Structure 1
Amino acid sequence: MATSTLHNSSLVMLALLLVFAILHSGGASLRYWGAARIGERAWRLLFAAISIPAAVVLVGYFLAHRYDGLRLWNLQDQAWIVPLVWAGTAISFFFLYPATYNLLEIPALQQPKVRLYASGIIRISRHPQAVGQVLWCFTHLLWIGSSFMLVTCVGLIAHHL
């Protein structure tokens, strides 16, 4: 792979992560302002209409380029790596999604509200999304072992920090 391809795909990934962070976290920070002007449900739909396509583009680019870059290591022939990646990924999703999404709020079927979670995964972690993201990055970085994956993981973890 040419060096320019390595740098281009990694730089594009960092740019996409930055755009997603601005749209998603920036949009979340404007929730009260937007909800006061257009209503909670309309704001939630607008936020989802912006965040979800940005996430789809980000995931699509990642899937298309995940093996780009320099190969830093290759553990895929090790017997222990597949169960570790599957188990780590499964555990990461227990942290990533239950505390993040109430899927009925996205299409505005339920009235969105701010909640204090005192049960479930929140009892284990103060910020389950960050814990899940770090675990997902760790397992995928072990599996793929490319410089592109390293750049992606640094960007994702930096966004959560």
Structure 2
Amino acid sequence: MLLISWLTPSHFVILGLQIVFAIAHSGGAALRPRAEKYIGPRLYRILFALVSLPLAVILIIYFFGHRYDGLQIWQVQGVPGVREFVWLLSAISFLFLYPATFNLLEIAAIQKPQVHLYETGIIRITRHPQMVGQIIWCVAHTLWLGTTFTLVTSIGLVLHH
């Protein structure tokens, strides 16, 4: 019983939410070529955002509300340099996660969405900047929080990417 006493209902809820998001987000992305033929790229982007963004917000809110659930595996928040290291990793993860993959004008359907082949910037470092950024973000937050809930959340996020 001691081995699974750390397993709280929130561990299963976050994994369930991640599965729902992964199906909606990746499934919606897979439907893009066919959907754009019928409804056009702008309407597709709006509908895709109307599904993906609320699910992402729900995941973030749930994560913040339950980040200390489960077992505290380690506690390094008081160790000198860890705070700065986590902030540095978070900043680096931001550089991978956002600028190379999002054109906010396209998401808002102001500009016509296009498929881009980036050959400069962060793409020169990795062909999948969101995955690399997500891994870095997960390492930083799992290190900082040190809980089984954060570890389970991070494993789910990395597996999705």
Which segments of structure 1 move beyond 2 Å, counting only runs of 4 or more?
3-7
1:79 matched to which residue of 2? Answer: 80
2:106 matched to which residue of 1? Answer: 105
Q: Which runs of 5+ in 1 are unaligned?
A: none
Task: Give the secondary-structure state (helix, strand or coil) at the position aligned to 2:62.
Answer: helix
Q: Which amino acid aligns with 1:103?
A: L
1:15 matched to which residue of 2? Answer: 16
1:54 matched to which residue of 2? Answer: 55
1:23 and 1:42 map into 2 onto residues whose CA distance is: 17
User: 1:78-137: per-residue Cα shift (whole Å, max 9, x none)?
Assistant: 011100000000000000001121000112110101011001100111111000000000
Cα shift at 1:6: 3.9
Q: Which runs of 5+ in 2 are unaligned?
A: none
2:44 equivalent to 1:43: yes
1:119 matched to which residue of 2? Answer: 120
Q: TM-score, normalised by structure 2?
A: 0.95
Q: TM-score, normalised by structure 1?
A: 0.95
2:94 equivalent to 1:93: yes
2:142 matched to which residue of 1? Answer: 141
Cα shift at 1:157: 0.1
2:142 and 2:78 map into 1 onto residues whose CA distance is: 15
Determine what percentage of the aligned residue pairs are the same residue: 56
2:97 and 2:118 map into 1 onto residues whose CA distance is: 15
**What number of residue pairs does the alignment pair up?**
158
Task: Give the secondary-structure state (helix, strand or coil) at the position aligned to 2:144.
Answer: helix
1:93 and 1:106 map into 2 onto residues whose CA distance is: 18
